[in-house]
Structure 1
Amino acid sequence: MFIGQFQHSLDQKGRLIIPSKFREALGQNFVLTKGLDGCLFVYPRDEWAELELKLKTLPFTQKDARAFIRFFFAGATEVEMDKQGRILIPPQLREHARIEKDVVIIGVSNRVEIWSQEQWEAYSAKAAESYEDIAETLDLGI
């Protein structure tokens, strides 16, 4: 399970240090892809395989299903952590998430999300305004 929030910066080569708390659960090789809401999603190999099975059940005859699957898989890449716990984020994924230098890495249960600090702060501020209302409509019982 991935939880927590961490701040890091990209180096000049576009490499990002993965927080040590996430490294073991991610493993040496994992999948990085375009996420939703302007971030990147990071999946351990086993979680990626489960997600792939779910996406395969979507009806390819539906235009929205085809579009989502194309977007999701075309934006995916396998990454490998180096000995310092860094990954290289490809330019097209940095562009998608508007990542230039400062990054926020968050744990979201079965995946990790990578956000540009600006994007995360804007999203987080907006979501915080309705956090309690959202919880109420979801009837989480917490």
Structure 2
Amino acid sequence: MGEFRHSIDQKGRLIVPAKFRGDLGHKFVVTRGMDGCLFGYPQSEWQALEKKLRQLPLTKRDARAFVRFFYSAATECTLDKQGRINLPQPLIKHANLVKACVLIGVSSRIEIWDEKRWEASSAEIAENFDSIAENMLDFDL
């Protein structure tokens, strides 16, 4: 849980907040996320997700496309002594990470956002939160 702001440097290094490091572990997986952000998963969550993705039918075009896109940029990130990860260029480009970033905790993963993109998305969600909450009834929440 939580929202933290850090800057990515020119070498693609980004500080992972101390609050997230314990749950993520020393090594974790980062890949393309939805809505223009990156998803970061602890190894155990990544393995559980892989198990589900392996069950997708190869005969479905959307399933093949999703799995290709999701896996092709996935990378194992290792925290350095300063608590930073080094993100590869395809992931930086996907999330349009230039300088200011926002890292948020979302259940069992983290999301890494460009600050401006996060603020726009967050503002849109806040504006529509009541109707979004109503739709959660469909998911038995």
What TM-score do you get using the length of structure 2 for normalisation? 0.96
Structure 2: stretches of 5+ with no match in the other structure: none
Instruction: State the distance in 2 between where 1:74 and 1:26 align.
Output: 21
Give 1:25 shift.
0.9
Moved over 3 A (4+): none
| Partner in structure 1 of residue 60 of structure 2 | 62
| Partner in structure 1 of residue 39 of structure 2 | 41
| Partner in structure 2 of residue 123 of structure 1 | 121
Instruction: State the distance in 2 between where 1:138 and 1:123 align.
Output: 18
Calculate percent identity across the aligned residue pairs: 56
Q: Note the alpha carbon deviations across 1:87-129, whole angstroms, 9 max, x for none.
A: 0011111100000000000000000000000110111111111
Q: Note the alpha carbon deviations across 1:45-72, whole angstroms, 9 max, x for none.
A: 0000000000011101000000000000
SS at match of 1:136: helix
- 1:108 is aligned with what amino acid? V
SS at match of 2:14: strand
Instruction: State the distance in 1 between where 2:5 and 2:140 align.
Output: 31
- 2:75 is aligned with what amino acid? T
Give 1:141 shift.
8.2
Instruction: State the distance in 2 between where 1:97 and 1:12 align.
Output: 15
What is the alpha-carbon root mean square deviation over aligned residues? 1.3
Instruction: State the distance in 2 between where 1:141 and 1:52 align.
Output: 25
Instruction: State the distance in 1 between where 2:84 and 2:129 align.
Output: 33
Instruction: State the distance in 1 between where 2:133 and 2:15 align.
Output: 33
Count of aligned pairs: 140
Instruction: State the distance in 1 between where 2:4 and 2:95 align.
Output: 17
SS at match of 2:44: helix
Instruction: State the distance in 1 between where 2:59 and 2:80 align.
Output: 41
SS at match of 1:61: coil
| Partner in structure 2 of residue 9 of structure 1 | 7
| Partner in structure 1 of residue 83 of structure 2 | 85
- 2:96 is aligned with what amino acid? R
| Partner in structure 2 of residue 20 of structure 1 | 18
Q: Note the alpha carbon deviations across 1:13-71, whole angstroms, 9 max, x for none.
A: 21000000000111111101000000000000000000000001110100000000000
Instruction: State the distance in 1 between where 2:115 and 2:92 align.
Output: 12
